[in-house]
């Protein structure tokens, strides 16, 4: 299912990732969805600080590693989601975790 990759309750748009692991890895062929106030047609995507992709789509298929954010007018830019192309990645579930929680980690090669 969908899982926020940024803190809940923030006023800025939120990036939701599928599959719901962090850091995201390029070979999962994942998607990012920008959720926030305003219409999805107002979404602007950024990769490594520069405009990326076609404006207006609230969902982005990730095909390159980098740092992604989205922007919605009136609410600003989302927190950054890093997509890794490293050969070895330790992943954790993307949901918020508290000390003492039991968590499953994945070592991806």
Q: What's residue 3's pLDDT?
A: 52
Q: 5 in a domain, yes or no? A: no
Residue 35 falls within a domain, yes or no? yes
Structural domain contains residue 3 = no
Give CA 80 to chain center in angstroms: 7
Which residue is listed with tokens 């920008």?
34
What pLDDT shows up at residue 40?
Answer: 59
Domain-embedded: residue 2: no
Residues 6+ apart with CB under 8 A from 100: none
Residue 11 tokens, joined? 């006023």
pLDDT in tens, the chain (109 residues): 445 554 444 477 888 888 888 888 888 878 999 987 766 568 899 999 999 977 778 889 998 999 999 998 778 889 999 998 888 989 888 888 889 989 899 898 7
73: domain CATH number? 2.60.40.10
Range of the domain at 39: 16-96+103-108
pLDDT of residue 39: 62
At residue 29, the pLDDT reads 79
What is the number of structural domains in the chain?
1
Instruction: Quickly count: other Cβ atoms within 10 Å of residue 46's Cβ.
Output: 18
The pLDDT score that the predictor gives to residue 83 is 92
User: If we measure between CA atoms, which residue out of 63, 64, 44, 62 comes closest to residue 54?
Assistant: 44
């Amino acid at each position: 299912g969908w899982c926020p990759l940024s803190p809940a309750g923030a006023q800025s748009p939120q990036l939701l990732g599928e599959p719901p692991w962090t850091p995201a890895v390029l070979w999962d062929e994942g998607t990012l969805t920008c959720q926030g106030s305003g219409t999805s047609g107002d979404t602007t995507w950024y990769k490594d600080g520069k405009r990326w992709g076609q404006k207006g789509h609230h969902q982005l298929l990730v095909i390159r590693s980098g740092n992604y954010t989205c922007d919605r007018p009136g609410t600003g830019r989302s927190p950054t989601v890093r997509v890794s192309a490293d050969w070895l990645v330790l992943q954790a579930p993307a949901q918020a975790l508290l000390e003492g929680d039991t968590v499953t980690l994945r070592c991806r090669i």
